[in-house]
Chain A
């Protein structure tokens, strides 16, 4: 249901953009005003969210430790998984952000009644009548990690390749990136590996979300919406690159005009481009209000970005309030008779 309705919404958005791109009157709106506004919402929105998080205190030092602590010098401590230095934290965060380290741990647990495979050890006899059948087993589960990694990295590559639409002359890096990305030299125009990876990864994530019983159960409208929006964005891009070649020169005029604040809307720009641009605008404007903010949030996560130095260095809670405690004096007053009878020392006789 959520999958379908979010698809309909994205298709409607695409339809609106198509009409807007086809009507000369609306082209400045969809070509200039909407993208400009979306970019503004994105920048202000993301900044507001990040500042909001950053201004919220971290009252306690609560890293999730995933390795041996630094304690005694002869015990090998895990400087990345349980960091106690700034560089350890930086590497831990880098692994998390660049390689999705935690997601790489993923396993799949299931209860099975298959017979137990005999190990090399000496199996002790299980007590009489004890049911051996049902047991939990865990399987490798790296597909989610792989798809997530493929999606994020190829999206970044595609985004960087797009710099050629916004910078004149295009930076050398973009040329190198495009050359590497098109390394396999398949087809004409050359097929970019990142485009394939992006489509495949998004496809996997969508199929997984809608077919895995657990993930489907917990998925919301916005989870499918983000995927459909991205798929629409990528699909229109792929269409324009490989099938319906639009007037690139005209498009570049428009995009350069946008970033140099000298807006122009050339004629001859295909409505398909307007769909692409509009879906991007929706993505940008939607971004700050959505779960996509994990992009910035991951850097602020207190279970990952704090060093496990809780006992080494004092962490200060800015709002540490006074609380009602039970003092020793009150305690001694209540139990004085018993303390004395038991021969335990007291402060006041």
Chain B
């Protein structure tokens, strides 16, 4: 961590009483550590997005196109006519303030414009000025603001300081969803080329190579082969992990971090062990080598562009249905957008587990099943031999990832898997889990190092709850089903709640799974000795 990172004592000096000028003043100070760098022109160019140029948020001149204001206002008009959510959420907020302290960025920063209501007002004030009679006539008296460059800069700062986690929408009496506002806000910023690189580079990579990390097909194969070797070393079992194989029953799609990052990688080992053990007829794809979709953090159009390959590849390979790996925002796209955008998936079949013959009717149209739904069903039917003592070195808590919890309702499946693979499990406090779960603070493309202070602030509510169960129950691992969580929670916990690791749910499955022909295993998928092995050594 960089030297100038403030200490936890400094970061928790948060004063929630707003001070100084009215929020109508748009001026923003781009302070190091609290914003993300601009998108590199080559990435915008590759995606055909507007206004590629060299610039940074702290520059005075953002090099906007001369008619930027008309572009934004026309963009607003178009979206007001296309999204009932946007139009309605502009109109009906009563500013009751119930959402204020529900936002992790507000709780961690105390910046009043991080209250979801004010985040929306940033754009609502412009809506009033140009699209309502009262705003046109009465101006700032009724909270209407002219669209100026300062307002645009403020939008950039605060719409890239929202992780689209939807927690506020749980508490809003009208269900106003700031994720919708932020998504539209970012779309508008995209129209004039104000993007961040941490979103646009993965999107460009994904468009070209098929995955966010820009891994080309031979690299993909190398990674998978390496995982197969490693799994053999640990378990003594050689598994098959076919790629681009036509005629398989199932296409398996995962976030690219699973085959390139840790601790994601142990989750991948878990998938591979599981699929081998149950004899699943499946294939991976080097083209559909990314389940995640940074289009979600750019524009609805970009979601569709990046998501198209999933069904296209399923069709080309002739599979019957799709399983998706552990990833949060990926599942928001798969669950709420994919079928509408790129369906109908009439060339696929309604998913049926070949092992248990369970028909996944809840995925009857989209024809894609979450790996946790699939595995929970296997365990329920007693189709997995599990030695739970192999996870005895873990004292587990579960972090609901925002999107599976609040945009899908996938809450019990991962818990069921954990309870059946681990013996010690403790929930964090009620108002920090399930639909009230707190974001990791780095979602929606904000997980970059230049933004570290804001990530630590935004992640504090989550880490605070982890620290609570660590101190109370001795929890030493945070399980989650999101690739961004797995990437960003380890540094967050190291900072706020040291001594707690991060793991995917299928890592526990891989640890506990008794495989046919396996060697006498002494280590988990991380190569760490099992608790029993440790005891043996202590007794020896």
Is A105's CB under 8 angstroms from B18's CB? no
Is B171's CB under 8 angstroms from A106's CB? yes
Stretch at the interface among A57-65, A238-246, A277-285: A57-65
Assuming the contacts A289-B134, A291-B93, A335-B217, asked whether A144 and B98 have C-beta atoms less than 8 A apart, the reply is: yes
- Does any Cβ of B come within 8 Å of A122's Cβ? yes
Q: Which of A108, A122, A291 contacts B95 (CB 8 A)?
A: A291
**A interface footprint on B319-351 (CB within 8 Å = 1, 0 otherwise):** 000000000000000111101110110000000
A217 → chain B, closest Cβ, in Å?
4
A116 closest partner in B (C-beta): B471
CB-CB contacts below 8 Å: A61-81 with B:
61-62, 64-72, 74-78, 81
- Does any Cβ of B come within 8 Å of A310's Cβ? yes
Is A321's CB under 8 angstroms from B301's CB? yes
Per the bound structure, the CA–CA distance linking A143 and B17 in Å amounts to 20
Per the bound structure, the CA–CA distance linking A263 and B411 in Å amounts to 61
A132 closest partner in B (C-beta): B471
CB-CB contacts below 8 Å: B59-98 with A:
80-85, 87-88, 91-98
Q: Which of A81, A122, A327 contacts B435 (CB 8 A)?
A: A81
B470 — which chain A residues lie within 8 A by C-beta?
124, 126
Assuming the contacts A60-B340, A222-B142, asked whether A144 and B365 have C-beta atoms less than 8 A apart, the reply is: no
Stretch at the interface among B31-39, B191-199, B239-247: B239-247
Q: Which of B96, B361, B499 contacts A312 (CB 8 A)?
A: B361
Is B305's CB under 8 angstroms from A323's CB? yes
Q: Which of B121, B222, B336 contacts A218 (CB 8 A)?
A: B121
B93 — which chain A residues lie within 8 A by C-beta?
291, 294
Is A331's CB under 8 angstroms from B87's CB? no
Per the bound structure, the CA–CA distance linking A74 and B339 in Å amounts to 26
B360 — which chain A residues lie within 8 A by C-beta?
71
Stretch at the interface among A160-168, A185-193, A264-272, A337-345: A337-345
Per the bound structure, the CA–CA distance linking A343 and B80 in Å amounts to 50
22 contacts across the A-B interface (CB closer than 8 A):
A53-B87, A53-B88, A56-B83, A65-B408, A67-B434, A69-B362, A69-B411, A72-B373, A72-B380, A77-B409, A127-B499, A133-B12, A214-B16, A214-B100, A214-B115, A291-B92, A291-B95, A297-B92, A303-B85, A313-B365, A326-B208, A335-B216
Assuming the contacts A74-B380, A311-B364, A312-B362, asked whether A148 and B286 have C-beta atoms less than 8 A apart, the reply is: no
Per the bound structure, the CA–CA distance linking A66 and B494 in Å amounts to 30
Question: Which range contains the number of B residues in contact with the other chain?
Answer: 35 or more
- Does any Cβ of A come within 8 Å of B143's Cβ? yes
A286 → chain B, closest Cβ, in Å?
9
A52 closest partner in B (C-beta): B87
B376 closest partner in A (C-beta): A72
- Does any Cβ of A come within 8 Å of B377's Cβ? yes
Per the bound structure, the CA–CA distance linking A344 and B101 in Å amounts to 52
Is B499's CB under 8 angstroms from A328's CB? no
Residues of A within 8 A of B (CB): 49, 52-53, 56-62, 64-72, 74-78, 81-82, 84, 96, 100, 102-103, 105-111, 116, 119, 121-124, 126-127, 130-136, 138, 144, 148, 212-215, 217-223, 289, 291, 293-294, 297-298, 300-304, 308, 310-317, 319-321, 323-328, 331-332, 334-335, 338-339, 341-345, 347
Stretch at the interface among B148-156, B448-456, B459-467: B459-467
Is A122's CB under 8 angstroms from B473's CB? yes
B100 — which chain A residues lie within 8 A by C-beta?
214-215, 218
B365 — which chain A residues lie within 8 A by C-beta?
311-314
Q: Which of A105, A294, A325 contacts B92 (CB 8 A)?
A: A294
Q: Which of A57, A213, A223, A312 contacts B18 (CB 8 A)?
A: A213
Q: Which 7 A-B pairs have the closest CB atoms?
A: A69-B409, A134-B12, A297-B92, A65-B409, A303-B175, A342-B218, A124-B474
Q: Which of A301, A335, A338 contacts B174 (CB 8 A)?
A: A301
B18 — which chain A residues lie within 8 A by C-beta?
213-214, 217
Per the bound structure, the CA–CA distance linking A61 and B335 in Å amounts to 9
Is A49's CB under 8 angstroms from B91's CB? yes
Is B133's CB under 8 angstroms from A109's CB? no
Is B180's CB under 8 angstroms from A62's CB? yes
A126 — which chain B residues lie within 8 A by C-beta?
470-471, 499
B175 — which chain A residues lie within 8 A by C-beta?
64, 96, 102, 298, 301-304
Per the bound structure, the CA–CA distance linking A320 and B316 in Å amounts to 23
